[in-house]
Structure 1
Amino acid sequence: MTLKDRIKDDLKQAMRDRDQPRIDALRMLAAAIQRREVDERITLDDAQTLSVIDKQIKQARESIEQYHKGGRADLVAKEQADLALWQAYLPQPLSDVEIDRLIADAVQATGAASVKDMGKIMAILKPKLQGRADMAQVGAKVRARLGG
């Protein structure tokens, strides 16, 4: 069963259970997936679906921060519930040790010597870490390793 199918099945189950907050969150996610498929005229595989989920999670985190600054506790709670639901579809996160090992392997594979080579390293790391690590933190680790 693909990740997209799992999301659809979970949406159907939420409808049967009449769980409106879960229905809303899953519909939003399904709509984001469908929007990308229509825009790019493709059928998303699991890796591409994960990138859509990642994007939704990132947007939710940014929204939580903005709502918190604005004093909107009700919207913060809703976004946090959506975020928790969407994170359940992500694969098991990698540990810092595993991430550091992948960074070291990528640096060695590319022969990177300075921050100028960061793009090459990130191109290797992104498919391996998609949905399993915060890419902003990975970027910071790579930059620190390269002396930037």
Structure 2
Amino acid sequence: MAVLDQLNEQMKTAMKAKDKQTLSTVRMLKSALQNKQIDLGHDLTPEDEKAVLSTELKQRKESLEEFSKAGREDLVTPLEAEIKIVEAYLPAQLDEAAVTKLVDETIAEVGATGKGDFGKVMKTLMPKVKGQADGAMVNRIVKAKLG
């Protein structure tokens, strides 16, 4: 089932349950996916859907971090709920150990020896972890391994 179909089903469920938080989040996700579909001019591939959802998740996590720093607990709680809803539509996130293993494999695959090979490693690695790992964490691990 396509993500848009899943979102439509969850939207109906949220309406019936009068769950305003879920309904609002699902509508935002659906809108983002439809906007991307219009931009591309064709139906979204699963990779396109993952990319849009990853972007939405990243935006919410960045906002969460900023709200936490500013002490805006009134905004943090609803945002955490939104993050859980978005994560439900993405593949399971890789933990740091799994990402480290992939980094090691990719370094061996491209024959990287030092910091100069950072771009080569990232170019090969990012498609493997797209939508499954935070880019900042991947970047940090690659730098540590090559540095």
- Between stretches 68-77 and 48-57, larger displacement belongs to 68-77
Extract unaligned runs of 5+ from structure 2: none
Equivalent residue, structure 2, for 1:97 = 97
Equivalent residue, structure 1, for 2:110 = 110
The residue correspondences of 1:47-62 to structure 2 (distance < 5 A) are: 47-62=47-62
Equivalent residue, structure 2, for 1:4 = 4
C-alpha distance after superposition, 1:12-33 (max 9, x if no partner): 2212222111100001111111
Extract unaligned runs of 5+ from structure 1: none
Distance 1:123 1:43, change over 3 A: farther
How far off is 1:138 after superposition? 0.9
Aligned-pair identity in percent equals 34
Cα distance in 1 for partners of 2:85, 2:108 equals 37
| SS state at 2:42 partner | coil
TM-score for both structures, normalised by structure 2: 0.88
Equivalent residue, structure 1, for 2:65 = 65
What is the aligned-residue RMSD (CA, Å)? Answer: 1.7
- Between stretches 81-90 and 21-30, larger displacement belongs to 81-90
Q: Across the two proteins, how many residue pairs are aligned to each other?
A: 147
The residue correspondences of 1:14-93 to structure 2 (distance < 5 A) are: 14-93=14-93
